[in-house]
Amino acid sequence: MTGTVYLVGAGPGDPGLLTLKGKTLLELAEVVIYDALVSPPILAMINPQAERIFVGKYRGWHSLPQAQITALLVSKAQQYQTVVRLKAGDPFIFGRGGEEVAGLRQAGIPVEVVPGISAGLALGFPLTHRQVSSSVVLVTGHEAVEKSQDSVHWEGLAQSADTLVIYMGMHRLPQITAALMRGGRAGETPVCVVQWGTWPQERRLYATLGTVNDLVAQAGFTAPALVVVGEVVDRERL
């Protein structure tokens, strides 16, 4: 009899933001297959007898290709009853959880998704605000390398959403900000870059679309970081 794979969202890093169901599953797990950016306090919650397997990815380096991760999940579900796939943030927000669920179901493996708080929702910004923001878009700045061209229309997003939360965009920030301004977003639009959000080493940089690239370079901000664009940045500062 095959076991069940639980895709558990670890949240943004702060262990207090992990769901109760996620914590319970970590304590019961027989094997945990986990990503990069899962914080050490959350890893410390794992059942001490559980097998741990790191399959993290960084830009330009993958410990295992995605197809092999899915195959590993299938294999472990054939050995164990409770398999936890621990993913930073939420499994279905830029976490490739949809691909893993599809692969598991195709292999006949029972799967359950336990949502997590996505990093962009945990930064303390009022992403919607009655006075300044009636719409918010979560968007990736790092698309699949096999795509022949970007599917994100940055110029269109410039005017179509009040608040933008950009994931994995640090390496392309100059191109993204330039495209947003070409699309009509003012260079004075408030921006905040949040590095290691909710972790003890969190840092924030406040800027505008026109100044953020120079300030990021001067301050040495690098990934992992999220970029929030819109008037809500000033509301959070107030």
Which residues belong to the active site? 35, 57, 168
For residue 106, give the 3-state DSSP assignment.
helix
Cβ contacts of residue 152 below 8 Å, gap of 6+? 139, 140, 141, 143
Going from the C-alpha of 34 to that of each of 44, 95, 159, the distances in angstroms are: 12, 12, 38
Cβ contacts of residue 38 below 8 Å, gap of 6+? 10, 86, 87, 88
Going from the C-alpha of 130 to that of each of 96, 135, 138, the distances in angstroms are: 33, 10, 19
